Chain A
């Protein structure tokens, strides 16, 4: 499912990153990384000089990991307890950030670990948090400035080094490795960094998981609801295990608030289980928090497949949590793309185990992410409506679909990039780009790109479509034709084409064609273009518009702005 090509990653630092390079090369988790080492100990010069070998052939990513005193000279003076104005320190942070932003055009993604001080440095601890005096106070402000400055760059991500230090414990800093090899950190720090950086890269590449499927008995609550009754479940109360189940539900709820869908697959009587969810006073999760469920006595693997079909998600989007090792093993074996984490026997560790999973990293958080569950619940209502009408046309007409067309701009760029990188099925060319690359491409003269925001009477599906054109001499090529599977089959596809054709005609271009690039997953796109005959004629993998036939916006769709 994942690209086997190693991810080429430039490593830039003022210290020796050889151990980090070793761990990152050998780590078996996706993506495989091939480190490219930059000149040792010259981070600023390396960031400036675009002609250095490390920047050739466009590395996929860069890790820029520095000690604060190496790139902010004023902080070096502060380490000697010289008097330096905070303003001067922050100004130098700004200058360093400008170098990073300048460098970021050379890579798809850049990762910048935040700055830390050795934890053994505890001298003058009482005044360490005082403004303009304490080193820790100043360093916190520097990190804040670093993060704020780099937020503006679409492809630079600041990661929290302090987490790695905490995980490494007393071995986090190694004076021995520093004096012998100019390696400031113990190896546990590098191992933790590899885990976080790879998780971040997976997110940037669109491999974040979107759905958590949970079991009920002894997973969401303690006890067997069918035997004990909902009144006797272990959930909340003055009981350490009951509190842990509540915290686990709270952790799931917090994930849902960040756009992760929740679903249930449980062997139970549906009526009894739903009654427990509705009636138990300490349930944090309500029925409306779940995008779907399969509560019955069928095989869980089949239930998961059915649920994923209903939610229009692939198995690579799902995480399955179940207290039963037998059920976990069965799902793991039958659906290897579903992530099935090892689950602790002790419920007291459930919340921490969930919150330590590194598979939900998202490079940005869009409006669509935050309202995902609502969108799926709206989808259920659409499905219900479909059952009551006699034809597809009637269903579409009663949905009152509205499509808002916008060009690419900074506000819709993160979501458009997310859609570009995550969509597999209705995707003509399946090209993957960073935010910066997409913006640069869209701004180039021969290119036009429109985003489609789709809503209907049941709700707003958000930015779910992209179509782009490359204007050539007397023709226009459809480069991107991307539609989220959540709005497939509602003639948004035709609306997108009508939009692009309309704009091509305004430029005096009548010949519009689409070159289909096959992948393992985008056959639905091929089928759609085949279905357009005779308005589009197939020539191999190319579909050319018959200029004599009109291509209007479908009748039931209101488009804004009108064409």
Chain B
């Protein structure tokens, strides 16, 4: 499941990069920082990341995913620190739902 989540997030990155200048492309790497001091996304970018991730989780993983609930937003800096932390969090949430 973790590999599928990673692939799904990489396809989200492909989508996000279409909105960004080439010199600001995000790399498809779990270490890629998202928010925080070295984060690569501004608030608009984060909004797109959330919306696209939810959309692709439904389409590619066949599972509904909610990333705008209080639980997620109360730990936004941890969850969205890197692509890897986001992948871990999605894995956790989807397993809970099982």
A: residues with CB less than 8 A from B are 16, 18-19, 22-23, 25-26, 171, 174, 176-177, 180-181, 183, 187, 191
Pair B68/A180 contact, Cβ less than 8 Å: yes
The yes or no answer to B47 lying at the interface (CB within 8 A) is yes
Task: Name the B residues within 8 Å of A180 (CB-CB).
Answer: 47, 50-51, 68
User: B16-44 CB contact bits vs A (8 Å, 1 = yes)?
Assistant: 00111110000000000000000000011
Task: Name the B residues within 8 Å of A174 (CB-CB).
Answer: 51
**A176-B68, A177-B51, A180-B68 known; A26+B44 contact, CB < 8 A:** no
**Which residue of B has the minimal Cβ distance to A174?**
B51
**Which residue of A has the minimal Cβ distance to B50?**
A180
Pair A26/B68 contact, Cβ less than 8 Å: no
**Which residue of B has the minimal Cβ distance to A19?**
B19
Which residues in window 34-75 of B have CB below 8 A to A?
Answer: 43-44, 47-48, 50-52, 54-55, 68
**A22-B18, A22-B19, A23-B18 known; A181+B47 contact, CB < 8 A:** yes
* Assembly CA distance A176 to B54 (angstroms): 10
Instruction: Tell me whether chain B's interface is mostly helix, strand or loop, or mixed.
Output: helix
Task: Name the B residues within 8 Å of A22 (CB-CB).
Answer: 18-20
Task: Name the A residues within 8 Å of B44 (CB-CB).
Answer: 16, 18-19, 181
Nearest CB on B from A167, distance (A): 16
**Which residue of A has the minimal Cβ distance to B43?**
A181
Task: Name the A residues within 8 Å of B19 (CB-CB).
Answer: 19, 22-23, 26, 187
* Assembly CA distance A22 to B48 (angstroms): 12
Q: Apart from A19-B44, A177-B51, what 14 extra A-B contacts exist at CB < 8 Å?
A: A22-B20, A23-B19, A25-B21, A26-B21, A176-B50, A176-B51, A177-B47, A180-B47, A180-B51, A181-B44, A181-B47, A181-B48, A183-B47, A187-B15
* Assembly CA distance A180 to B48 (angstroms): 9
* Assembly CA distance A280 to B15 (angstroms): 50
Task: Name the A residues within 8 Å of B55 (CB-CB).
Answer: 171
Q: Which of B18, B48, B51, B52 is packed against the most chain A CB atoms within 10 Å? A: B51
List 13 A–B pairs whose Cβ atoms lie within 8 Å, in order of A's numbering. A19-B19, A22-B19, A23-B19, A26-B20, A174-B51, A176-B51, A176-B54, A177-B48, A180-B50, A181-B47, A183-B47, A187-B19, A191-B18
**Which residue of B has the minimal Cβ distance to A190?**
B19
Task: Name the A residues within 8 Å of B21 (CB-CB).
Answer: 25-26
Task: Name the B residues within 8 Å of A26 (CB-CB).
Answer: 18-22
Nearest CB on B from A36, distance (A): 16
Nearest CB on A from B66, distance (A): 10
Q: Which of A19, A25, A191 contacts B48 (CB 8 A)?
A: A19
Task: Name the B residues within 8 Å of A18 (CB-CB).
Answer: 44
Task: Name the B residues within 8 Å of A181 (CB-CB).
Answer: 43-44, 47-48
Nearest CB on B from A169, distance (A): 12
* Assembly CA distance A18 to B44 (angstroms): 8
Task: Name the A residues within 8 Å of B47 (CB-CB).
Answer: 177, 180-181, 183
Task: Name the A residues within 8 Å of B48 (CB-CB).
Answer: 19, 177, 181, 187
Task: Name the A residues within 8 Å of B43 (CB-CB).
Answer: 181
**Which residue of A has the minimal Cβ distance to B52?**
A187
* Assembly CA distance A172 to B21 (angstroms): 24
* Assembly CA distance A299 to B22 (angstroms): 41
* Assembly CA distance A18 to B48 (angstroms): 11
Task: Name the B residues within 8 Å of A19 (CB-CB).
Answer: 19, 44, 48
Task: Name the A residues within 8 Å of B54 (CB-CB).
Answer: 176
* Assembly CA distance A177 to B48 (angstroms): 7
Task: Name the B residues within 8 Å of A16 (CB-CB).
Answer: 44
* Assembly CA distance A171 to B55 (angstroms): 9
**Which residue of B has the minimal Cβ distance to A177?**
B51
Nearest CB on B from A194, distance (A): 10
Nearest CB on A from B70, distance (A): 14
Task: Name the A residues within 8 Å of B51 (CB-CB).
Answer: 174, 176-177, 180
Nearest CB on B from A26, distance (A): 6
* Assembly CA distance A435 to B43 (angstroms): 41
* Assembly CA distance A85 to B86 (angstroms): 52
* Assembly CA distance A191 to B47 (angstroms): 18
Nearest CB on B from A3, distance (A): 21
**Which residue of A has the minimal Cβ distance to B55?**
A171
* Assembly CA distance A174 to B48 (angstroms): 11
* Assembly CA distance A226 to B44 (angstroms): 61
Nearest CB on B from A466, distance (A): 41
